[in-house]
Structure 1
Amino acid sequence: MTEKVIIAGLELPNQDLDYAMQELAALVEANNMEATEKVIQKLDRPNPATYFGSGKVTELHELGTSIDVHTLVVNAELSPSQIRNLEQESKLSVIDRTGLILEIFANRPQSREAKLQVEIAKLNYQMPRLRTSSSQRLDQQSAGDAGGGYTNRGAGETKLEMNRRTIQQRINNLNHELKEMTTSSAVQRKKRDQTGIPSVALVGYTNAGKSTTMNGLVHLYGKDDDKQVFEKNMLFATLDTSVRQLTFPDQKQLLLSDTVGFVSNLPHQLIKAFRSTLAEAAQADLLVQVVDVSDPHFREMIQTTNDTLREIGVTKVPMIVAFNKADLAGVDYPTFEGNEEITYSARDKKSLLMLTNMIKQKVFTGYREATFLIPFSEGQIIDYLNQHTNVLKTAYQENGTEITAELSSEDYQRYQKYLVTEVEN
């Protein structure tokens, strides 16, 4: 059943509140809630006690009573005291923006690594918000439940300290398990790097069409078309990083990863927790930033993505900006803007072919065209070249098979002793 909520925000100087509130409503929907009312207050600065001014807090209380809504979602990260005071005075259960995003993340992860990261982020968020009364929304580990049986202040504070120690110990245990898992993932990435297969990571704002793009490319070039990634028109439809191998008709191969989407003001707890998940982006040979060009705020989304990548330390990886959903935007597609930008639709085959060519030009720069004379006794080399390189011509000579192929620098070095001629691209 969908929970009805009130969404509210402050219009502060130099802030695009319309965009922020639209995004908040989309986040609410992604959390199986319905925003029935929107409340805005214009202030120079937030009230340090209740975030909103006293008159607006009274209005929120009266609004909740009149429409029988019991939850208020605020477009900001509130301090623990602001949440406590706002709940007491408005008589509403309060979720701030960070808490809302954490709720969404808590309900979505599939892999063990993602679940660990989300739980760590949740607990770090909850720690300063523990209290001996009132309810906590994220889960039952709050001191609101644990301290309910105590009647004197000292006993309540003792229980609160116990809860904090318990949560800190849980965080330590989860971090230890995550570290081991991260080490294992790093080993897997190192093994992939040793194969010489380049990697490309799809990054960008949540719901920009990364998963749709990946599924389209997997359908065209993947080994197993049934290995589609989940896609849905919803913020944070998937949180797990998926990696698929693509093999093109000329036998070139790459690893394509679909990373977790970004959102403005992504909670710093999640930035830290998901740094290991986004390591696919940090280690990639190329980033493809997927942008929903049909959204009027797509330029702000590009800035959000760039800021988030910079915050997690991804600053030196080459990038293509791919303006997706051109069919919804009513603009011409597929089109190029130089060799760094493409306007396309992830549901259009011609668009995907053009995007593929753009990616290939970026990541397969070290390939060479060369002719080798392979002895008849080395049949396994012939098989390898046919399966892993772009064979352009085959001829049979008296002393072996002459093969002209386009191949990677690694393969070129491996079979250099059989080299006859070379044409460098």
Structure 2
Amino acid sequence: MTGTYEDDEPLTGELDLEDRRALRRVAGLSTELTDVTEVEYRALRLERVVLVGVWTEGSAAMAENSLRELALLAETAGSEVLEGLVQRRVRPDPATYIGSGKAAELRDIVIATGADTVICDGELAPSQLRHLEETVKVKVIDRTALILDIFAQHARSREGKAQVELAQLDYLLPRLRGWGGNLSRQVGGRAAGGVGIGGRGPGETKIELDRRRIRTRMAKLRRQIAEMSKARETMRGDRRRHQIPAVAIAGYTNAGKSSLLNRLTGAGVLVENALFATLDPTVRRAETPSGRAYTLADTVGFVRHLPHQLVEAFRSTLEEVTDAGLILHVVDGSDPEPEAQIDAVREVLREIGADAIPEIIVINKADAADELAIARLELREPHSVVVSARTGLGIERLREAIEADLPGLEREVRVLLPYERGDLVTQIHERGEVLKQEHVAEGTVLHARVPDHLASTLERYAELASTTP
């Protein structure tokens, strides 16, 4: 049976009719205070938000867990969650995300709850944001804007602040708009940059001027970040020259990465039960049980649908992961969907080119996790260690696993690399020890000691070297 309903979206047999006709409430999300005496001044209120998501695939439990994560993000940003709603659809509505009829229903819920903001569980196109805002008559933001706001609140270092501002401007640029045409007027003289009479040309709208200023600021931020990343690269190069292997802690936000760093090194870095508490990487020295030194880097947490603007802006920071010889992939064993956490982190690792680096899955928070859930994870991820960074459970076993997997310069190779494979020459210099290098007509001949995983990549070029006179 086919047909249409109030949002003019075709019905299919895959979706339950009752689910499609209702905005489904997700229980247990409200953080509204029930007793006004709990605050000194009720007038000083946080942003009051209603969450809304579109459930297009997977189970209802997965859709509700996604909205619960959105609620945690909203609370981390300082909002008060009043209501959470999920709608079942084949795909998000291209005009208003949830459809015009459901947008009108959402407007009624906003009025009834007294909300001043709607947060959508997805990245909305500029037109979707505008149309939904026009219907519900309050501010509408999407998941990407929310995460960017949290990063802006938590950035502490000069580099972190510059990276967040760059990501925010990149997100804002296509969404720049004005109300009532106030950005569409043409300007000249001082407003056009001080060019004055004779230099104005045909004129420039206010919105075009703002876009130009944003692009100029973005170019300046990129230059600043490139300069700041040189200092980080110098420190990494110094560690490589001293042949100190690097281990990076990566994982989902709030999985316990900083707690694990403290437990392994006694670093004393900030540990907070909040999303994205760590933005600036912390690098500390650690030792294996046999006394071998290595560096351990704590990095920014990942999340499902991490905005690509953030991945690009934080690329210099994420180089701590890409330059590592081993990744400790921390997962929250007490999370309702730890497998989804692992998949989300691996997706980002692929995006930054770190998916080939050896990893140990560290199943954290074992003291709070269900035993069956941990057993399921161990079955799915055979190369894993169960720990509790809070109690110290399993930490010694993790130290032994790190020692066993710690990269060393185990293999001596002699290779002939064609000139178009300069990337491999760079990797040998960065991750190995070059004993001899010379340039011939066919390419670069290198005699070096390298880690095992890099030696396997170079095997085909070793054959070329053996045939070269």
**Range of TM-score over shorter length:** 0.7 to 0.9
Alpha-carbon distance in 2 for matches of 1:45, 1:130: 26
- Matched with 1:94 is 140
Corresponding letter in the other structure for 1:9: G
Contact 1:132 1:157 (8 Å CA) reproduced: no
Indicate whether 1:187 and 2:219 are aligned. no
Seen in structure 2, the aligned counterparts of structure 1 residues 293 and 88 have a Cα distance that, compared at 3 Å, is same
Contact 1:9 1:76 (8 Å CA) reproduced: yes
Superposed CA deviations along residues 288-331 of structure 1, whole A, max 9, x for unmatched, are 00011111200000000111100111122111001111110143
Pick from 85, 109, 112: which aligns with 1:39? 85
- Matched with 2:215 is 168
User: When the two structures are superposed, what TM-score results if normalisation uses the length of structure 2?
Assistant: 0.70
Corresponding letter in the other structure for 1:229: V
Corresponding residue SS for 1:278: helix
Contact 1:339 1:358 (8 Å CA) reproduced: no
- Matched with 2:328 is 288
Pick from 406, 417, 427: which aligns with 1:363? 406
- Matched with 1:73 is 119
User: When the two structures are superposed, what TM-score results if normalisation uses the length of structure 1?
Assistant: 0.77
Superposed CA deviations along residues 392-411 of structure 1, whole A, max 9, x for unmatched, are xxxxxxxxxxxxxxxxx99x
Deviation at 1:336, TM superposition (A): 8.2
Deviation at 1:33, TM superposition (A): 1.1
- Matched with 2:4 is none
Seen in structure 2, the aligned counterparts of structure 1 residues 294 and 13 have a Cα distance that, compared at 3 Å, is closer
Deviation at 1:20, TM superposition (A): 1.4
- Matched with 1:397 is none
Corresponding letter in the other structure for 1:171: M
Alpha-carbon distance in 2 for matches of 1:118, 1:61: 32
Corresponding residue SS for 2:315: coil
Deviation at 1:183, TM superposition (A): 2.1
Corresponding letter in the other structure for 2:391: D
Corresponding letter in the other structure for 1:186: E
Corresponding residue SS for 2:328: strand
- Matched with 2:444 is none
Superposed CA deviations along residues 138-163 of structure 1, whole A, max 9, x for unmatched, are xxxxxxxxx84x6x755697000000
Alpha-carbon distance in 2 for matches of 1:6, 1:303: 28
Indicate whether 1:277 and 2:317 are aligned. yes
Corresponding letter in the other structure for 1:217: L
Corresponding residue SS for 2:84: strand
Aligned 1:360-399 pairs, distance under 5 A:
360-363=403-406
Contact 1:203 1:261 (8 Å CA) reproduced: yes
Seen in structure 2, the aligned counterparts of structure 1 residues 51 and 336 have a Cα distance that, compared at 3 Å, is closer
Corresponding residue SS for 1:114: helix
- Matched with 2:250 is 203
Deviation at 1:243, TM superposition (A): 0.3
Alpha-carbon distance in 2 for matches of 1:316, 1:181: 27
Aligned length: 348
Identity across aligned pairs (percent)? 41
- Matched with 1:235 is 275
Corresponding residue SS for 2:394: helix
Seen in structure 2, the aligned counterparts of structure 1 residues 336 and 264 have a Cα distance that, compared at 3 Å, is closer
Alpha-carbon distance in 2 for matches of 1:18, 1:257: 33
- Matched with 1:131 is 177
- Matched with 2:359 is 319
Deviation at 1:365, TM superposition (A): 5.5
Deviation at 1:109, TM superposition (A): 1.0
- Matched with 2:22 is none
Pick from 71, 75, 78: which aligns with 1:25? 71
Q: Structure 1: any 5+ residue segments left out of the alignment? A: 135-146, 220-226, 368-408, 411-425
Cα root mean square deviation, aligned: 2.5
- Matched with 1:212 is 259
Seen in structure 2, the aligned counterparts of structure 1 residues 305 and 66 have a Cα distance that, compared at 3 Å, is same
Alpha-carbon distance in 1 for matches of 2:88, 2:269: 42
Alpha-carbon distance in 1 for matches of 2:371, 2:58: 30
